[in-house]
Structures are given as C-alpha cells and as structure tokens.
Amino acid sequence: MAAWFSRGPTGSLQEQRAEMVEKQIRRRGISVEAVLSALRAVPRHLFVPERNRQEAYGDHALPIGFGQTISQPYIVALMTAAAEPGPGVKVLEIGTGSGYQAAVLAACGCEVYSIERIPQLHEDAMAAIVEAGYGHKVYLRHGDGSRGWPEEAPFDRIVLTAAADEVPPALIEQLDPDGFIVAPLGSPDLQTIYRIRTGDEGLEYEALEGARFVPLIADDSAD
C-alpha cells in the first residue's frame, strides 16, 4: 500500500469515494442507487498503479500501463447503469484492463466473465479484484476478447470497454436473445456509447453518450 494512504484513517478513502459519487456521478444525472452504492463500495485506488494512486478518485482516466487506461469514474458509472445490473445478471466484459469495471458490476450483484488480452494486466486485475473482495463474483480469462467466451454463453449483457467499428459477430452470437450489449463504437478518435439489442430486422442501436476508449484489438496469439 502506498505511503500516502497510511497517513490518515481508512475513513478518508470512504469519504473520497462518497465525494466522487456525489460530485462526479450523481450531479451528472446518474441516479441508479445500486450503481452509486457500488461506486461508493469498490476501492478504486486498488485498481490504479501506485504511482498514480493519489489521483485515483479524480474526475479523469488514468494510465495503467501498456497503452491502456482505467476509465474516468463517470464513464464507468454510465456504462454500468446502461447495463442495468443486478443480482444474477450474467455479464461478459471485453477488456478487463484494471479490473475496476468488473468489480463495480460484481458489486451490483452481477456474475462477471471478463477477458483481457495483455498478460500482465490480466494478472494485475486478478490480484486487485481478489484484494477488493470480489474474486468470488468475477471470472477472468487471458485471451482475444473479440472471440468472446463461448463455453459460458449465453450472456444477459455484454460490455465492451474498448472501442470498435462494429460489434464482433462472435459476441452477438453469444448474447441471450433478451439481452443487450453496451459498447463504444466509432472512429479511433471519438466514439459513441450505444446500448445494442437484437431485433426482428437486425441490431437496434440506442445512442447514450460520446466517449474516447482505447481500441479493441484482436490478438491471434492470445490463448
């Protein structure tokens, strides 16, 4: 644990999370209490590299290495609320990254399956999720997220935390007919977060908000 945390009481971290939720999340219109409670509960600082932990509750994304980031808290809240989480909801997350989004979904009661293509991030996320207390609700795999996790399909929700031009076909095939996908789609510089359902005439897209994510990369070398 970084030295700056040892100078004050544990309550100071709880206060930082509470302030984050009130100022960064609720004031921007996200009012789903299960999501707000999860963000107050999950220790975000555990998912941030020690060199950046003083900024863990700031209103911005942070680097986690390998060209990847932990998303701004508001974006995590938006994606989580869009997924309509709850007890027993089975979620496939593409792009574990730091593991924070998976932990927040687990804190909402979801059963989370998450895939990360970068081995070190996969290992770091696993350690952080266990330390945060959500290891019993999150299942991790190192691999190519664009292929999904067919052995565990179907999924009630699929959440992409990396940007793509379109949703990979394998993920659509692994979605429960009554489920939906939350994904940022668009150009490398700017995407729109969509909630995507399967309809009688194909995919139906509901635009939610603009965002910037790192790209989804298919990796044939991943196991």
Using CA atoms, how far residue 105 sits from 12, 52, 125, 187, in Å, is 24, 23, 14, 27
Q: Is 65 helix (H, G, I), strand (E, B) or coil?
A: strand
Catalytic residues: 71
Q: Is 71 helix (H, G, I), strand (E, B) or coil?
A: coil
Structure tokens at 48: 């941030």
For residues 181, 22, 24, 63, the Cα torsion angle rounded to the nearest 10 degrees is -80
Structure tokens at 114: 């998450």
Structure tokens at 209: 């908000």
- Identify the CA nearest to 90 among candidates 106, 104, 107, 110: 110
